[in-house]
Every structure is written in C-alpha cells, then in structure tokens.
Chains A and B, each alone.
Chain A
Amino acid sequence: MLRDITLGQYYRTESVIHSLDPRVKLVATFAFIVSLFVANNFIGYVIAALFLAMVIYLSKVPPKFIFRGMKTIFFLLLLTMVFNLFLTPGTPIVSVWKFTITQEGLKMAAMMAVRLVFLITGSSLMTLTTTPNHLTDGLERLLRPLRLFKVPVHEISMMMSIALRFIPILMEETDKIMKAQMARGADFESGSLIKRAKSLVPLLVPLFISAFRRANDLAMAMEARCYKGGDGRTKMKPLIYEKRDRLAYLVIILYLVLIVVMGRILF
C-alpha cells in the first residue's frame, strides 16, 4: 500500500537520464514546469507531452512505476478540476441549480488537469532518476551565489538531503508499525472518518518516537565524524559538466524556444 508512493523515490537503473549532472536535471525540471505555464494552447501541450515521453523513454523507468504515484494526487486533481469547472465565469453550457458549467471552465479544468499531471510526472521523473544525495549536491551548487546574501546554502541542502534520505526509511518504518498494529487487530481501512483518524494514533506515536530516535542517532554520528557545517568542506565527487550535459542543456533551450514560438505563431 505504501509502496505506491513514488514521489521522492529513486529507481535504480542505468540510463542517459540517470547519468546526467543533477544540475541539468534540476534546471530541466524547472524549465519544464515553467513551460507548462507558458504554454496556453493545444500544440504547446502536445510538445510538452512529446518531450516528457522522450525523457521517460530515455530514462528506462517503467511508465507503470511513474504513474503509480499519480494515485496519491488523484484527490487534489479532482478538486482542482471541480473548482475550475464550476467557478470559471464565461459562456454557460449546462446549468444545474446554482452550478453552471461554462465553456471557459471546461477548457480551464482540462488545462489545469493536464498541467498538474505533467508537473507531477516531470518532477517525480527527476527524483526517480536522481539519488537524493545527487539532487541536493546539484541544488547546493546551483544556489551557491545566494551565499553572498548570507543564505546558509549548505545547511539548507544538508537538511534537504537528510529529509529526502529518510523518506524511504520512514516509509518502511510506517509499513512495519502498521503491520505490527494490524497483527494486534488494528483496523486502518474501515470506519468513519473520525474513527479512521483515531486509528492513526497507534501508528503515529511510535513513528514519531522512532523519527526522533533516528534524528538523535544521526546527530551523534555526524558529530562523531567532526561535522561542523559547510565551511571548508570539500566533495569526494565534485560535480563537473560533461559533453552529454551540455547537449542536454541545448535540448532544453530548444524545447523552451519551441514552446514560446508555438505560442506566438498561433496567437
């Protein structure tokens, strides 16, 4: 059940996308998200879909695995669609009682749905093909200029990498505690909303305790290895751009240009 959440999980395999510099992937994901909001016509989304399909194909991550994560945002997706469908003013199509579906609303709802699905797919593709360590390494490098403004870039990225690192561990822990409580007759799936919320107590209390215990242990282990923040810290594997990374940047720029140009030509 918990295995279904793919957001923030790394899928181990070897592919061009996996071996790209994390900075490229971060920039690409950002560019892709921007492009989703720049694109405002059908052709734009077709291009975005093609781009996404190409990256998925190159990444060798089974599509089934990527879309499994979609189940978790299904509710959010539905909510967004419903709101857009009923609350966008414009030419009415159907009207039931106080609710009116407009042409614009229909278009907006479809667009938002596509945007959301692409956004989640794009960003989960990044986390699926990049290890958390790589990801935060990349982020740290990209944000380095902010140090000029006294932003603790290293500390932030360290916190992020620890948080990401612990997602699978806590997930596993949740699974284990859930099973242990189920073995004692706990029921997490049926009953009213209040009853179900209450049934989470036997799960959350041990989970929090274990999280604090792990945090404590980790802090000790880091101190035992003389960790004292980012100053003067060097990397074992510094990030260096290679040919394929430059090529990837080129592809991203081409993609962005294409999206923008398409928007201009049609409108």
Chain B
Amino acid sequence: MSIILDHVNYIYDEDTAMAHAALIDVCLNIPDGQFVGLIGHTGSGKSTLIQHMNGLEKPTSGCVFYDGKDINDSDYDKKSLRAKVGLVFQYPEHQLFETDCFKDVCFGPKNLGLPQKEVELRAYEALKQVGFDDEYFYQSPFDLSGGQKRRVAIAGVLAMKPEVLILDEPTAGLDPKGREDILNLISKLHEEMGITIILVSHSMDDVANYVQRIIVMNKGRVAFDDEPKEVFKHYKELEEIGLAAPQVTYVMQELHEAGFPVDTDVTTLEDAKNEILKAFGKC
C-alpha cells in the first residue's frame, strides 16, 4: 500500500512569465504504516507535494504510484484513491458547509456511494475517534470553537476510512492545548489503527516527538530524508534553509560542547531529561 514518487517535477503556470518550479526531481518511498513528518519552509513545495499523493495535482513529469499502480493512468479510479489517501487541508474548518456536524462528516462516505446506514455508522465512529462530544453532534459547525471545528473536519476525512492520512499543518492557528490534543489524536490514530500518517509542518518541535521519519523540503527538492535524530544532526544546515532543529537538540549540543557526557541524538524532552540526569549522576 506504499506511496512511491518517481522523479516527480511540477511547474506552476507553465508557459507564462510567472512559471516557477514547485517540485524538482522528487523521489520518495513511503511504506505502509509509517509516521512521517514532512517539513519545509513556506513555499518549499510541501503542500504541492501532498496534493500529488492523492491525485489532486498531476506531475509535469514523473510518476506517482500507489499500491504499485500509476495513479495518473487515464483508467485509474481517482475517487477510490482519494478514499484511501485521505488529505486534510490546512485550516480544514474552512471547508465545513453542512447545517450540522454529523451531516458534514457524512459527506465523505456518502460520496463513496455507501448505503445510508454504513455512512452514518462511519460518521459516528469518526467523530468518536477524534474525541468529539455527542452533545455537539447536531450543532451547526459554525458555532463551535476553532479546535472543535478542526476535529469535525478531520473526522470528515477519517470517515472515509483512509489507509494513508495526510495532514497539512493540522496545528496551525491553535492554542497550545489544542495543538497537543490534535497531535496526540493523530499519534493515537497511528498506533491504534496502524494507518500511514504524513504530518506536514514547519515546526520541528511539533513533529520530533511523534514521527519515525522526517522529510525536509527546500525550494522544491528533498533536502533530507531520514530518521529524526539523523536529520537533526544537520541542525546548522537546517538553519540555513530557514528551519531549526528542536530546542532539545540545541541544549544537548551545547551541553556536549561544554564537556558533559550527554548523547546528542535524543529528540524528545523526556529522553533529554533522562540523559541530563544521567550525566549529572542523579539517575
């Protein structure tokens, strides 16, 4: 069920004076069940990249394969692809349109042509998965808070039972509590349902705690693609492209330089704490 991108190029506004390459020779292989962080500066091509993964954009050259099939073949069923590769856009609450939350979540499965019962069952399950309270089910989505709206929007994609879930900056514009809730929710989905997750973000701190692999995009190219601790070793290069390693990496690097025997590879706050305690002989 893996996604493979083979030498994908994409040029916006081809043949005009505004033409510019959004993706340059991108080759990726995302295996089943992986939790991937896709990181890049604004305009680095990360949003364009994920739109290629469910066939919303067509590469100017190169191929995208899902489950071994080229998704841009003329006889490929794009609708079923979009059910399998769920994409949650940035500020997904801006796409809510129904009179109540439950109906809005039903929109996705209904489009798949499922029977009414199955549609409602899926909508119910999805809303439960995102931790949405029953009492708000039949409220207008426009009366909810930002964080709640976003849950409804994510449920709207989850109700299609995707095998791969792509989220474009799901924490943008939320308060710290909302951020953590959403990120925990996503990681729960990964653990419990085993779906592949691609989390797009520009904050390393956001993703460092959760993902197994980080892909860094810079100016349309893949700059780094490795495990988090390997990527963060390049923290100086990351800074040059306008990104930064998590705060933890900096602390550990400086402690290391100051002569403390700490492991600079740790990426999460918890591990860092243990490392530091160990270095001071308190553990």
Contact = CB atoms under 8 A, between A and B. Distances in A.
Interface in A60-80: 62, 64-65
Contact of A187 (B87, B111, B142, B157): B111
Interface stretch (A22-30, A100-108, A198-206, A242-250): A198-206
A195 interface: no
B35 interface: no
Contact of B15 (A11, A62, A182): A62
A202 B97 contact: yes
Given A179-B89, A185-B112, A202-B107, A11 B56 contact: no
A177 B16 contact: no
A175 B15 CA distance: 20
A65 B16 contact: yes
Nearest to A213: B94
B154 to A, nearest CB: 11
Interface residues of B, number: 28
Q: How large is the interface on A (under 10, 10 to 19, 20 to 34, 35 or more residues)?
A: 20 to 34
Contacts of A206: 94-97
Contact of B95 (A3, A13, A180, A201): A180
B252 to A, nearest CB: 39
A12 B13 CA distance: 13
A89 B56 CA distance: 51
A184 interface: yes
A183 interface: yes
A177 B82 contact: no
Contacts of B89: 176, 179-180, 183
Contacts of B56: 179, 182-183
12 contacts: A3-B13, A11-B17, A179-B89, A180-B95, A181-B95, A183-B82, A184-B108, A184-B157, A185-B108, A185-B112, A187-B79, A206-B94
Which 6 pairs from chain A and chain B are nearest by CB? A185-B111, A205-B97, A184-B108, A183-B87, A180-B95, A180-B89
